[in-house]
Amino acid sequence: MHNYSQNNLQEIKLLLKSLTDEQYQFKSNLLSGASIGQHTRHILEFYLCLLKGRHNRLVNYDKRERNLELENSPKFAIYTIDKICNNIGDYHSCCELVLEGNFSNSEHSLVSIKSSWMRELAYNLEHSIHHQALI
């Protein structure tokens, strides 16, 4: 799963290398008014959230850090992809995690679900592929 995720992120990196800042930031009607940069930021922030959550074994994608530089700078996104790929490779063992999230319409309905590093890595890969298809 590590290699699949790293290969997928490298595909995104190749795309980003071919774009100007203007192309990366352009909000297209074909993308429902979003930019390639916004989709890329969204993908990378999920991976960063998982990597951060690995240390305390708790992942909550709703509480992920948002960094607008990722959606505005393809160079920073490429740097972040390299960082993620290097860190994903450091975790070869599978460990238990708790996935925390709000899966209802109520603002105060937090649910905790047992998960694992590999399961969440697979989810991040699927999530990335979904957004790549939109791009």
pLDDT at 89: 78
Q: Give the chain's radius of gyration (CA, Å).
A: 15
DSSP 105-130: SSTT-EEEEEEEHHHHHHHHHHHHHH
What is the DSSP-derived secondary structure letter of residue 62?
G
Angle at 124 between CA 71 and CA 52, to 5 degrees: 75
CATH entry, 2-134, from 2.30.110, 1.20.120, 1.10.3470, 2.30.30:
1.20.120
What pLDDT tens digit does each residue of the chain (135 aa) get? 889 999 999 999 999 999 999 999 999 998 889 999 999 999 999 999 999 999 899 999 999 999 999 999 999 999 999 999 999 977 666 689 999 999 888 777 899 999 999 999 999 999 999 999 888
pLDDT at 41: 98
What is the per-residue pLDDT for 99? 97
- Domain ranges in the chain are 2-134
